[in-house]
A and B are shown apart, each in its own frame.
Chain A
Amino acid sequence: MDLELARLARNGDESAFEEILRRYSPRVFHVASRFFRERSQVEEAAQEVFLKAFTELGKFEGRGSMEGWLTRIATNTCLNMLRSSKRRPELTAADLNEEQSDWLESKMAQGALERHQASERSAVAADLAGRVLQTLSPDDQLVLTMIDGEDSPVREVVEATGWSESKVKVTAFRARRRMREAVEKLLRR
């Protein structure tokens, strides 16, 4: 069915491509959200992904799922967009706003090794996480968000990026250290 949709869209059937958009845009948005903090950036990235996918429809041979194919295009497109943008400088405690400082303090006041399973949603924490991640490389951001944030298996990162399993593991190992060091700087007062 996906292959047929791709064939029809390639031959100029607009409704076929609209169907692809309808089916897979939530997935592409999910992938783009791993990389960007603002809705406008996510939308821009998602649009770029679909425009790229349209020009490469001929390469989709239906061996894997279209969702997987689009995930890979989305991951690589977002990685390239992030690579071409300037990386944010180091973040210090002085750069945090009041809400973010309060959130950190409240977490520090909780008992050691008890809070990592906290399930509450916090927009402040999500924003702070985005700011810390922006000080890391795009590769580090992706691996940490997928493996540590979403609990994705290494295999899923391999499929999304096309990297080797060992590269994913080594990147994750180093990225955890860098993230920890970045957070440690915020805790120093």
Chain B
Amino acid sequence: MSDQHIISLLEERPFSELSENELSAIRAHVSTCDDCSRQCDAAQISALLLTQRAAATFGPSPFFHTRVMATLRERESASQPWAWTRVWRAAGALASSMVLTVAALGALTFAIPGSAETALVQDIAANSYSAEEVIFNQAEIADEKVSDGQILKSLYGVEEEAGK
């Protein structure tokens, strides 16, 4: 039996499944081959260790079921829509209303007074008359029906009276 054959026998199946014939062949071989003898020892100890490992199992502790159920309830309640979602929605509404208020105050403070001022200046400019306008655009000044004589009098009347 070759070395390779011994090794493959040890790897093909669990040690406990080797037949008596196979074990006899291995015994015969390892008595003359140190390398295979060492590997055979290691394989046997591996098999024994694995058997011992498989026998060492744990069972559930008395509180295991309670703990799992508690964790489950905790996770379920955390995933309820009324928890975080509702808080998030309320916070969102509050934030939105605050932003709107600030925007409205900003508009009142800066936008409206500015436009009122501009409108006032424009209004004054539109309603002011120069002496020339009063003289030459009388027809356009509809609500002030004054005659040329009255205008001349208002303009030069003081001087004329002074001249007299």
Contacts and interface: CB of A to CB of B under 8 A. Distances in A.
B2 to A, nearest CB: 17
A125 B60 contact: no
B107 to A, nearest CB: 51
A82 to B, nearest CB: 15
Interface residues on B, range: 35 or more
A39 B56 contact: no
Contacts of A150: 54
Interface string B61-81: 100110111011001000000
Nearest to B47: A116
A42 B59 CA distance: 9
Interface stretch (B33-41, B92-100, B130-138): B33-41
Interface residues on A, range: 35 or more
Nearest to B73: A14
Interface in A148-166: 148-151
A154 B40 CA distance: 24
Contacts of B64: 21, 25, 43, 46-47
A26 B21 CA distance: 39
A30 B52 CA distance: 14
A148 B14 contact: yes
A151 B68 contact: no
Interface in B89-133: none
Contact of A21 (B46, B50, B51, B69): B69
B23 A151 contact: no
B28 to A, nearest CB: 11
Given A17-B72, A173-B12, A148 B47 contact: yes
A99 B3 CA distance: 33
Which of B49, B67, B72, B75 gathers the greatest number of chain A CB atoms within 10 Å? B49
Nearest to B30: A112
Interface of B: 10-12, 14-16, 23, 26-27, 30, 37-61, 64-65, 67-69, 71-72, 75
Given A148-B50, A179-B50, A187-B38, 17 more contacts: A17-B72, A29-B58, A43-B64, A47-B71, A108-B41, A116-B16, A121-B52, A128-B49, A129-B50, A129-B53, A132-B49, A144-B50, A149-B51, A183-B46, A183-B49, A187-B41, A187-B45
